[in-house]
Amino acid sequence: MDFHAVCCTLLLLTCTGVCFGQELLLPERINKAVGENVVITPILIPDPPHFLITWKFNERNILSGPPSGIIILPAYRDRVSLDTTTLALELRSLTESDTGTYSLSVETGTGLFHKCGTSLQVFVPASDVTIVPSKTELVEFNSTVSLVCSASGSTLSFIWLNGSSEVTAGERVQLTDSNSSLTITSVIRGDTGPYQCEASNIVSKAMSLPLNLTIYYGPENVTVEAAPVGPIYSSGSTLTLTCSAESSPAAEFQWAVNGAELGEMGQELRLSNIQSSQSGNYTCIAHNKQTLRYSMSEPIDVTVLVGPDNVIINGPSEVEVGKTVMLSCHTESTPTAWYKWMFNGTLTEVNTTVFTVEQANVTHTGNYTCTASNPVTGRKASGSHVLVVKEKGTAGGGGNSLSAGAIAGIVIGVLLAIAGVAGLVFYFVKGKKIPETTSRGNKKNGATRNEGQHELHYADVSHLQSNQRQQGIPAVSMAHANSYVSQYNKTATSNPATQTIYSDVRNL
Ligand SMILES: *[C@@H]1O[C@H](CO)[C@@H](O)[C@H](O)[C@H]1NC(C)=O
Ligand SMILES: *[C@@H]1O[C@H](CO)[C@@H](O)[C@H](O)[C@H]1NC(C)=O
Ligand SMILES: *[C@@H]1O[C@H](CO)[C@@H](O)[C@H](O)[C@H]1NC(C)=O
Ligand SMILES: *[C@@H]1O[C@H](CO)[C@@H](O)[C@H](O)[C@H]1NC(C)=O
Ligand SMILES: *[C@@H]1O[C@H](CO)[C@@H](O)[C@H](O)[C@H]1NC(C)=O
Ligand SMILES: *[C@@H]1O[C@H](CO)[C@@H](O)[C@H](O)[C@H]1NC(C)=O
Ligand SMILES: *[C@@H]1O[C@H](CO)[C@@H](O)[C@H](O)[C@H]1NC(C)=O
Ligand SMILES: *[C@@H]1O[C@H](CO)[C@@H](O)[C@H](O)[C@H]1NC(C)=O
Ligand SMILES: *[C@@H]1O[C@H](CO)[C@@H](O)[C@H](O)[C@H]1NC(C)=O
Ligand SMILES: *[C@@H]1O[C@H](CO)[C@@H](O)[C@H](O)[C@H]1NC(C)=O
């Protein structure tokens, strides 16, 4: 008795089946929806005769009496009936308030009392299931959204569907309020849904309409493609650069060349009649107005082939012997041209932009030709430059302030003047002394021969120099001149003045 009381007080719904007497047994529990009818049929009843039958709801009578004279309480009169054979109670048009414990007691002829209870739960079916989102437009990685499932119905439980699969709680996904709230933190682009909430209880199930989330993302993976494929284009041709990006909403595009914005918008950049000045690294900058993010493509190289055109050689046209001369070749060419140099029509080994002549001498006088060729197209162009190597003191000096060379020229001039005087002195002295000092050869003709030789040497040297000026005499000729000088030196070792003069000549 004590045990039964405790059981029925604390575990109202589960104490069913705990009955007095072994002969009466009701079903354990019954669930029904509002509006439905229920028939509570005992599983086992005591043998008749039944003197008194009573059905109670939460210890209040519904009906009572002997099988022949059952009295139904007014509150139930319209919707309750009893099967006096099976003792089953029918209850129609259930409402939520019919939820509770129903018990049947039976008194039999022997005066024995049987009692047994069961519980009925009347559920309100799930309905009006809707998802209430905190917002529907979200930014990938930034936004958190919570979806609340609202529904009517009794004792509802909730399930969330993402597409066709059930949402489970995880790092970014929380299910709270008995699963009626779904919170997604730092959404990703795959979280668009559609989401559905299913509310259910034991008697019903209902689904919300699908809800889509809009998740803005990107731009990412910005790429530029060129049509036709580059990177080499002939000048005058037309090409189109097309930019693409992973972005939602679609990105806006801007264009830049070598880092400088072009002021061009749009997914396509059309370059028509391209010129070499348009060569460069083109980049596309994508911008997403919703995520406020920017992303830049890798540069795409556009090289417009040009030239070579306008080959120009910069450098002096006259230079003094002994100076270093640099002739530099310039041309307009993309890609950078390869160079070859010719001298007087003969190919040299020089293939750099600058042709350098160290210590110019007369052999360097001539026609320098620079040939530039475009390594891709193979197109060639040439320019020429005539260089004259002059003896010291005669080159350039047109009105400029005194350069080192000019000063050197003046010094040499003065020296030459002195040399001239010395030469005169020598000439007069020589007439008397040379026959005496010349031991070898014919004494008679020695003076005249020697004299003639000197004059010849001077003439040779000056002739050579003028020749060099005009034609650029080869090294062999100069070697001759040197040998004449050294020959003279042998014959005139005794005269310091002449040595000075000759060494001056050699140094010219
Ligand atoms: C919420 O749903 C999970 C399954 O996703 C389930 O295991 C859990 O029991 C539910 N919680 C409640 C309170 O209904
Ligand atoms: C929804 O499903 C997609 C795959 O269909 C998945 O990428 C995404 O992470 C899911 N989102 C949530 C919140 O479960
Ligand atoms: C939700 O997205 C699905 C595709 O994922 C689409 O078929 C459906 O029309 C969208 N619903 C709404 C209301 O935009
Ligand atoms: C797009 O970019 C993401 C990261 O920015 C990278 O993980 C992914 O591999 C890229 N996809 C492609 C097709 O390049
Ligand atoms: C493009 O960039 C590459 C490497 O950054 C560089 O080598 C190349 O010269 C650039 N091209 C132009 C035309 O500026
Ligand atoms: C996203 O978050 C970053 C850092 O948390 C913030 O700087 C940025 O402004 C946010 N973007 C948007 C569109 O809210
Ligand atoms: C120099 O040489 C080039 C080609 O070899 C020729 O066209 C040009 O006329 C020459 N110039 C002079 C001044 O001789
Ligand atoms: C220039 O000449 C050097 C050797 O003289 C050679 O190694 C180099 O490849 C040449 N360069 C070109 C562009 O012809
Ligand atoms: C080169 O040509 C010039 C005239 O065109 C000539 O004076 C000079 O001697 C020539 N030089 C060589 C080394 O052939
Ligand atoms: C001129 O210079 C070249 C080298 O540049 C050299 O080989 C030659 O011997 C020189 N000729 C004279 C006469 O000095």
* DSSP code at position 240: E
| Distance in Å, CA 280 to ligand 5 centroid | 7
Question: In this structure, which amino acid lies at residue 214?
Answer: T
Q: What's the pLDDT score for residue 466?
A: 38
Which of 212, 236, 266 is the last residue before a domain boundary? 212
Cβ–ligand 2 contact at 162 (below 6 Å): yes
Domain span at residue 22?
A: 2-123
446 and 354 in a common domain: no
486 and 417 in a common domain: yes
Which of 263, 298, 333 is the last residue before a domain boundary? 298
| Distance in Å, CA 312 to ligand 9 centroid | 21
Ligand 9 atom with the shortest distance to the CA of 473: 9
Helix (H, G, I), strand (E, B) or coil at 194: coil
Mutate to test the pocket of ligand 1, among 166, 176, 179 (most ligand atoms within 8 A of CB): 179
**Ligand number nearest to the C-alpha of 190:** 2
CA–CA dist 506, 497 (Å, integer): 15
204 and 221 in a common domain: no
Ligand 5 atom with the shortest distance to the CA of 303: 13
220 and 199 in a common domain: no
Phi, psi angles (nearest 5°) of residue 428: -75, -40
The whole-model pTM stands at 0.61
| Distance in Å, CA 179 to ligand 1 centroid | 6
137 and 48 in a common domain: no
| Distance in Å, CA 389 to ligand 10 centroid | 12
167 and 69 in a common domain: no
Q: Quickly list DSSP for 32-95.
A: EETT--EEE--SB-PPSPEEEEEEEETTEEEEEE-TTS-EE-GGGTTTEEE-TTT--EEE-S--
- Within 344-495, strands assigned E span 346-347, 354-357, 366-373, 380-390
DSSP lists the bridge partners of residue 216 as 139
Ligand 10-lining residues (CB < 6 angstroms): 361, 363, 475, 478
Residues 6+ away with beta carbon under 8 Å from 405: 320, 323, 392, 393, 395, 396, 397
Burial classification of residue 331, based on how many CB atoms lie within 10 Å of its CB (0-12 exposed, 13-18 middle, 19 or more buried): buried
318 and 279 in a common domain: no
| Distance in Å, CA 351 to ligand 8 centroid | 6
Residue 139 sits in a domain whose CATH number is 2.60.40.10
Cβ–ligand 2 contact at 210 (below 6 Å): no
Ligand 8-lining residues (CB < 6 angstroms): 338, 349, 351
382 and 409 in a common domain: no
| Distance in Å, CA 221 to ligand 4 centroid | 6
Token pair for 170? 């995880």
Ligand 6 atom with the shortest distance to the CA of 291: 13
Q: What's the pLDDT score for residue 419?
A: 52
CA–CA dist 366, 344 (Å, integer): 6
Q: What's the pLDDT score for residue 394?
A: 64
Ligand 4 atom with the shortest distance to the CA of 246: 1
92 and 141 in a common domain: no
Q: Give the number of domains in the chain.
A: 5
Mutate to test the pocket of ligand 1, among 175, 176, 183, 202 (most ligand atoms within 8 A of CB): 175
268 and 195 in a common domain: no
98 and 10 in a common domain: yes
Q: Is residue 398, in this structure, part of any structural domain at all?
A: no
Q: Are 293 and 247 spatial neighbours (Cβ–Cβ below 8 Å)?
A: no
Token pair for 342? 């010719």
| Distance in Å, CA 176 to ligand 1 centroid | 9
CA–CA dist 453, 380 (Å, integer): 54
Q: Is residue 43, in this structure, part of any structural domain at all?
A: yes
Q: Is residue 70, in this structure, part of any structural domain at all?
A: yes
**Ligand number nearest to the C-alpha of 276:** 5
Give Dmax (Cα) for the chain. 192
Ligand 2 atom with the shortest distance to the CA of 162: 1
Ligand 9-lining residues (CB < 6 angstroms): 344, 363, 365-367, 471-472
Is the N-terminal amide bond of 46 cis, ω within 30° of 0?
no
Among the listed residues 303, 301, 331, 305, the one whose alpha carbon sits nearest the alpha carbon of residue 235: 305
Q: Is residue 285, in this structure, part of any structural domain at all?
A: yes
Q: What's the pLDDT score for residue 6?
A: 37
Q: Is residue 397, in this structure, part of any structural domain at all?
A: no
Q: Is residue 380, in this structure, part of any structural domain at all?
A: yes
Q: What's the pLDDT score for residue 382?
A: 93
pLDDT per position in the chain (508 positions), as tens? 344 433 443 333 334 446 776 789 999 899 999 999 999 999 999 888 889 999 999 989 999 999 999 999 999 999 999 999 999 999 999 999 999 999 999 998 777 888 999 999 999 999 999 999 999 999 999 999 999 999 999 999 999 999 999 999 999 999 999 999 999 999 999 999 899 999 999 999 999 999 999 999 999 999 999 999 978 888 889 999 999 999 999 999 999 999 899 988 899 999 999 988 888 999 999 999 999 999 999 999 998 888 788 899 999 999 999 999 999 999 988 888 999 999 999 999 999 999 999 999 999 999 999 999 988 888 899 999 999 998 887 655 433 434 444 445 444 454 455 554 454 444 444 444 433 333 343 333 433 344 434 433 333 333 333 333 344 333 333 333 333 333 333 333 334 333 333 333 333 3
Token pair for 495? 């005269």
Burial classification of residue 290, based on how many CB atoms lie within 10 Å of its CB (0-12 exposed, 13-18 middle, 19 or more buried): middle
Ligand 4-lining residues (CB < 6 angstroms): 220-221
Q: Is residue 375, in this structure, part of any structural domain at all?
A: yes
Q: Is residue 399, in this structure, part of any structural domain at all?
A: no
Which of 107, 123, 139 is the last residue before a domain boundary? 123
99 and 32 in a common domain: yes
Helix (H) or strand (E) holding 491: helix 475-491
